[in-house]
Amino acid sequence: MDLDDRNKKVLQAVIDSYIASGSPIGSTVLVKRFDFGVSSATLRNIMADLEEMGYLTHPHTSAGRIPTDLGYRYYIDSLISVENDSEDIEEHLQQAPQLHGDDLQELMEEASRFLATLSHCAGVIVAPSESEAAYRHIEFVRLRGRQVLIIFVTSNGIVQNKLIDIDESIRQQDLNGFSAYLDEELEHRSLAEVRQQLIDKMKEEKLVFMQLMDETYRASQDVQERENEKVYIGGASQMLESPEFANVEKMRALFKAFEDKYKLLKLLDRSVSAQGIKVFIGSENPYFEMQGCSMVVGNYNAGSNVVGTLGVIGPTRMQYKQVIHVVDYTAKLLTKLLGERFQRGLDR
């Protein structure tokens, strides 16, 4: 249902004021803070109309109103402009300590804390899905003595480095040839297919190359075994600072939901195929059954492929404009870092 200009301005004023204060908003508050050019009685009538349409509600016997999930949805879709003030927000984000994790797991943990710090809510990252990864490239680098560095690169940007000792000395030229051989044999295969192919080939090849194949198999297995550590949550305790979660039962429900990472994955997976930033409000979270929570979600890439999702979970009374910028900025930053890691793995 569309609203006329005056109703839109009043609805936006109520939601902005409620986000800022956390207290139900009455007509007297609006008269003091905004110049609508109408009386307090007229504002009460407009707010009553907005309540009848489902955009506002009033808790218990309070004379003030608070937004409903429908009100927040209209606010996000039709009332706020993320572009406004974007330069100021972007400048603030660029001044924050940047991500630099060397290991993929460390980078994911750091990114979840980064989201939490900048949004003052909980940051959630779903790491690149190894189960959907395919083989992209492998490199063998001869170091001192009989040490060889294996660099295993998957199609979704995961780079696994592994240092091994081999039983006999081998020339870099031979290692390059073996790398080219594996690239040709394993190109575009899934990790499961790679492991089976390596098992089959190990039965045929001579000892030194069998050892390298064995270590390549282990590197691919190490990537696959990180599957159980896909979800990283940072700053969950920050949400307890919101008055919405002062209630013990709500607090328990909140942490129970964070513990059930499967539901988080199901919710985040919904956003993988969509472009841009998505906002799930309250009851719109079918797998994250907490009243009073919203989630702002985006995707990040490795090269041209979407490889994971990230987001912020907080009370429905969150600073949506700020949080949307935080999620978008972090997604772009993570995309840049993974792209650099991916390219380094290919260039070595």
264-311: per-residue pLDDT in tens? 776 676 666 667 888 989 878 765 556 678 889 998 887 667 778 899
At 57, list the tokens: 């509600």
- Mean pLDDT (the chain) is 78
Measured between alpha carbons, how far is residue 162 from residues 13, 103, 110, 153, 346 in Å? Answer: 57, 12, 22, 12, 15
Is the pLDDT at 148 greater than 70? The verdict is: yes
Residue of 311, 248, 286, 253 whose CA lies nearest to 115: 311
CB atoms closer than 10 angstroms to residue 53: 16
Domain annotation for the chain: domains and CATH numbers: 5-79 (1.10.10.10), 86-129+230-343 (3.30.450.40), 131-227 (3.30.390.60)
What angle, 0 to 180 degrees and rounded to 10, lies between the N-to-C axes of helices 248-259 and 261-269? 70
Residue keyed to tokens 């044999």:
185
Query: Cα(first)–Cα(last) distance of the chain, in Å?
Result: 57
Is 230 in contact with 265 (CB distance < 8 Å)?
yes
Altogether, the residues listed in the chain come to a count of 348
Report the pLDDT averaged over residues 31-41: 89
C-alpha to C-alpha distance for 171 and 330, rounded to whole angstroms: 43
CA distance 1 to 217: 58
Q: What is the pLDDT of residues 78-134, one digit of tens each?
A: 998 766 666 666 777 777 777 776 677 788 888 999 999 889 899 999 887 555 556
Q: In what side-by-side order are the strands of the sheet with 147-154?
A: 135-142, 147-154, 159-165
